[in-house]
């Protein structure tokens, strides 16, 4: 949620942000609701004051044995009018809040302005692209021939975009997870495993309400939502709390399954396990002071780059444009891994700075001393490793001429083999 002061005092700045994000949003309607809401607040407050004054007058009249029937009649009319105003205020508040929760975050000054991914900016590249002396295959063909992946049977029991990992591919996935756990522990991150389901208040605090239908699975009868990433649960962990500022930055490393409907991605990446409804991910999440969040984002993308460099997977870092960035983020880096089977770099990790956007929605504040004013924390989230997409990158970059897969050196101690 944005600072209400910016919404009221700098509406043109909000309109420019919406244009730069290529977002269709009726901001004027929101301002209209805000004015009605504030007018109703004043009217109800004035009427409550009048009712209180009338109540005192009635009390005095009764104490003096005077006729209070006229005052009581007026009191009844005021109470009726107040009830109507309070109902109107409740309705307008609801309409305003729904719109306020749908306004995207402001855009960081360093973000390139453009409507889509064509305006993303490449920041840097790492690694030489593999040079094969045989016909390159995609991950699905390689894994299925080795009996490591079964898409067909998973589709039979769960539908499209599900899979069975089998044998050494399961062990490889566990090796990547174990390496990620060791890697982040050495970096000083606190390991955490979150709930895989959270309530509506928490989910609406972490994501834009309008996006939930396309992304999030809902368990309606229990009023719970399956997390699309650990971020959703960890962001809400300190909701309605005041954090000791001396504990910041507070860095977490979290492994969890992730569940995504991918409703807006119909027809994309139909083959294999690159885009699926269920996957595992090791997430970085940081609560930081406002003055530290930019540096924290650079550290987080640096961690992700180092991780993939240790795996030996060629990649590049891209700064997303205003139109390609998620609505909650003010600035996002993508790490794109080289996928030989597609002859392209593909997004495999994202690292975002959300500033105080989530903290305002979730009421997460901090202060260094008990007598200081509280401030909203900044929240940052970043994929260290998306397991399934990383399996795709390993299979395709480390494929051999005899149809097998070399195990990256850093993972060999977990698998106790150099080839599968």
CB atoms within 10 A of CB 377: 29
Half-sphere exposure of 300 (CA within 13 A, CB side): 35
The list of the chain residues with pLDDT below 50 reads none
Per-residue pLDDT at 267: 56
DSSP 8-state code for residue 343: T
**Residue-wise over 210-246: b if at least 16 C-beta within 10 A, else e?**
bbbeebbbbeeeeebbbbbbbbbbbbbbbbeeebebe
Q: In 3D, which of 51, 125, 45, 122 has the Cα closest to residue 309?
A: 125
Per-residue pLDDT at 259: 95
The two three-digit tokens of residue 316, written as one number: 């590049």
Rounded Cα distance between 287 and 379, Å, is 5
Query: How do residues 233-279 score in pLDDT, each as one tens digit?
Result: 999 999 999 999 999 999 999 999 999 987 555 556 768 999 999 99
Angle at which helix 27-63 crosses helix 69-100, to 10 degrees, equals 160
Query: How do residues 23-42 score in pLDDT, each as one tens digit?
Result: 998 898 988 888 888 888 88
Rounded Cα distance between 24 and 320, Å, is 19
pTM, rounded to two decimals: 0.89
* Domains of the chain by start residue, with CATH: 26-100 (1.10.287.40), 117-415 (3.30.930.10)
The two three-digit tokens of residue 158, written as one number: 């769960």
Per-residue pLDDT at 51: 84
Per-residue pLDDT at 264: 52
DSSP run (H or E) holding 364? strand 364-367
Instruction: Give the sign of the dihedral formed by CA 220, CA 200, CA 33, CA 1.
Output: negative
Distance of alpha carbon 112 from its chain centroid, rounded?
21
Per-residue pLDDT at 96: 87
Query: Using an 8 Å Cβ cutoff, are 386 and 348 in contact?
Result: yes
Per-residue pLDDT at 72: 82
Half-sphere exposure of 20 (CA within 13 A, CB side): 22
Per-residue pLDDT at 415: 94
3-state helix, strand, coil in the chain (%, to 5): 45, 20, 30
């Amino acid at each position: 949620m944005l600072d209400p002061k910016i919404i009221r005092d700098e509406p043109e700045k909000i309109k420019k942000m919406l244009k730069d994000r290529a977002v269709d949003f009726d901001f004027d309607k929101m301002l209209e609701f805000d004015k009605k809401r504030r007018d109703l607040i004043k009217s109800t407050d004035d009427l409550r004051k009048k009712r209180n004054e009338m109540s005192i007058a009635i009390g005095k009249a009764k104490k003096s044995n005077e006729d209070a029937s006229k005052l009581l009649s007026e009191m009844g009319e005021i109470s009726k009018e107040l009830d109507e105003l309070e109902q109107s205020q409740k309705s307008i508040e609801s309409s305003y809040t729904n719109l306020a929760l749908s306004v995207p975050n402001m855009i960081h000054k360093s973000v390139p302005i453009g409507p889509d991914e064509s305006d993303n900016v490449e920041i840097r590249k790492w690694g030489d692209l593999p040079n094969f002396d045989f016909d390159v295959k995609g991950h699905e063909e390689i894994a299925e021939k080795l009996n490591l992946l079964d898409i067909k049977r998973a589709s039979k029991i769960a539908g499209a975009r599900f899979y069975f990992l089998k044998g050494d591919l399961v062990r490889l996935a566990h090796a990547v997870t174990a390496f990620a756990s060791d890697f982040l522990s050495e970096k000083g991150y606190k390991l955490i495993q979150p709930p895989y389901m959270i309530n509506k208040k928490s989910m609406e605090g972490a994501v834009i309400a309008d996006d939930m239908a396309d992304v999030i699975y809902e368990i309606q009868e229990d009023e719970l939502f399956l997390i699309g990433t650990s971020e959703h649960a960890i962001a809400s962990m300190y909701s309605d709390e005041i954090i000791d500022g001396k504990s910041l930055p507070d860095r977490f490393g979290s492994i969890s399954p992730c569940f995504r409907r991918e409703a807006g991605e119909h027809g994309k990446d139909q083959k294999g396990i690159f885009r699926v409804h269920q996957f595992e991910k090791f997430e970085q999440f940081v609560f930081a002071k406002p003055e530290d969040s930019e540096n924290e984002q650079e550290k987080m993308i640096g961690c992700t780059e180092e991780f993939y460099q240790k795996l030996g997977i060629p990649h590049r870092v891209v700064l997303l444009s205003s139109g390609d960035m998620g609505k909650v983020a003010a600035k996002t880096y993508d790490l794109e891994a080289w996928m030989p089977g597609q002859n392209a770099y593909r997004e495999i990790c994202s690292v975002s700075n959300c500033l105080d956007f989530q903290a305002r929605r979730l009421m997460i504040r901090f202060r260094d001393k008990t007598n200081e004013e509280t401030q909203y924390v900044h929240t940052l989230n970043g994929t260290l490793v998306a397991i399934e997409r990383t399996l795709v990158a390993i299979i395709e970059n480390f494929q051999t001429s005899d149809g097998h897969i070399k195990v990256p050196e850093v993972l060999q101690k977990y698998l106790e083999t150099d080839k599968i």
